[in-house]
Structure 1
Amino acid sequence: MPTSTAARDVFINCPFDSTYKPVFWAIVFTVLRSGFSPRCALEADDSSENRLARIQAIIEECRYGIHDISRTEVDGDPPLPRFNMPLELGLFFGAKRYGNNDQRTKRALVLDREQYRYQRFISDIAGADIHAHGADPGKCIEQVATWLRTQSRDTKIPGGRKISEEFEVFQSQLGAICADRGLEPDELTFGDFAELVAAYLTVDP
């Protein structure tokens, strides 16, 4: 049975490829800047653990979920779509619908490149409020910051435009920050990036 959720944990369900990474990093930065803890399937690299079981456990522990369903293009031979993100969105919805009272407090933000594109491949969520980011990290930051502030009723969370400006400053310093740690920006893992952002925000909140 699902147990309790962590009030400030945010499950991030999104593509992890290099093309999407600027948006992914923007989401992680915004979650941390807003005073929440980002969680995703990349947080643990344990080959002995089933990936789906790990995702289910993270979903169970998170009150909030950010789901980007923008990457559903066909790939490979034969060409087939990738539906990991819609699957994990369904798991999150299922936990909220069928879980205990604590699980039913879950809140979800669904993102896509275009507001109504989802109707072509996952029309069953029609009626949900889909937020379009146009693959723009700055616009995505505004969507995420506004949603977190609204859902948590935490008035200390800055506006998205301010966080977007702070993210740009952080990005301009990321190379130097990585050099101090003996890292390269293009080799950062999710854990590396989240830790660097958290440390940066502690020094320059």
Structure 2
Amino acid sequence: MNSEDVFINCPFSDDYDSYFKAILFTVIRSGFNPRCAREDDDGGDVRFEKICRIIEDCKYGIHDISKTELDAASGLPRFNMPLELGLFLGARKYGDAEQILKKTIIFDRDPHRYQQFMSDISGQDIHAHNNDIPQLIIGVAAWLRRASKRKTVPGGTAIADEYAVFMQNLPIMLAARQMQPEDLTYDDDITFIAEWLVKNA
């Protein structure tokens, strides 16, 4: 298990993309390595097995279970986030001496909303981001600093300010490489964030 790796379990939808980028930015800015199911696009790999491998590797986990709306096409909710949260908690509960050292933070949109659809986690400390990106960044940064005990993790307000500037600069960075926002892959997100931080942070 790598103490630098942070598993990110969140919606991969267009309306969540700026939140996802904010989490990536905060994790990288804090000195950690983001990991998620999007990191490898191999049609020969079983997705569930890939997620299990990533979870096994990661000491830290960030889980956002806020997106519970019904899918417009199927009329059903997406349960990937609760499933991956369960895998992470199961690894911590039933894993070996290394796996039980895992640490996690769970976000929902509003305080106590999760009790209406996933009441079994009522005994845990759930954080609400209120669909506010700066609040999400502040929560992630504070948790990473506390969970890792690293004094090098910057304050969340400062990271949120940097992220706002990064998002303003991103269209210019994309234009320089003849790319559009819809061209961005997970690897591209990581690259642009890392390059911007080297020049600006």
How far does residue 164 in structure 1 lie from its aligned partner after superposition? 0.3
Please give the alpha-carbon distance, in whole angstroms, between the structure 1 residues aligned to 2:59 and 2:116.
28
Provide the residue aligned with 1:50 in structure 2.
Answer: 46
Letter in 1 for 2:16: Y
1:123 aligned residue (102, 119, 134): 119
* Post-superposition CA distance 1:92-123 (Å, at most 9, x none): 00111111111111001100101201101110
Question: Which structure 2 residues correspond to residues 16-95 of structure 1 after superposition, within 5 A?
Answer: 16-76=12-72, 79-95=75-91
TM-score normalized by the length of structure 2: 0.96
- Decide whether aligned partners of structure 1 residues 181 and 89 sit closer, same or farther in structure 2, where only a CA change above 3 A counts: same
Bigger shift: residues 67-76 or 110-119? 67-76
Paired AA for residue 80 in structure 2: N
Cα distance in 2 for residues equivalent to 1:85 and 1:184:
28
Percent of aligned pairs with the same amino acid = 50
CA displacement 1:16-69 (0-9 Å, x = unmatched): 101011111100000000000111100111111111111111000000000000
1:152 aligned onto 2:148: yes
For 1:145, the aligned partner's letter is A
Instruction: Say how many residue pairs are matched.
Output: 201
In 2, the alpha carbon distance for the partners of 1:148 and 1:156 equals 10
Matched residue, 1:105: 101
2:136 corresponds to 1:140? yes
Q: Supply the distance in 1 between the matched residues of 2:111 and 2:4 (Cα, whole angstroms).
A: 27
- Superposed CA RMSD in Å reads 1.1
- Name the TM-score, length of structure 1 as normaliser: 0.95
Matched, 1:165 2:165: no
- Alignment deviations for residues 110-139 of structure 1 (CA, whole Å, 9 cap, x no partner): 001012011011100111111111111111
Which of 9, 12, 15 pairs up with 2:8?
A: 12
Given the alignment of the two structures, is residue 190 of structure 1 paired with residue 186 of structure 2, yes or no? yes
Distance 1:147 1:187 in 2: 32
Deviates more, 1:178-187 or 1:85-94: 178-187
Q: Which residue number corresponds to residue 175 of structure 1? A: 171
Q: CA deviation at 1:77?
A: 6.1
Mind listing any 5+ residue stretches in structure 1 that lack a counterpart? none
Structure 2 residues not aligned, in runs of 5+: none
Amino acid paired to 1:48: G
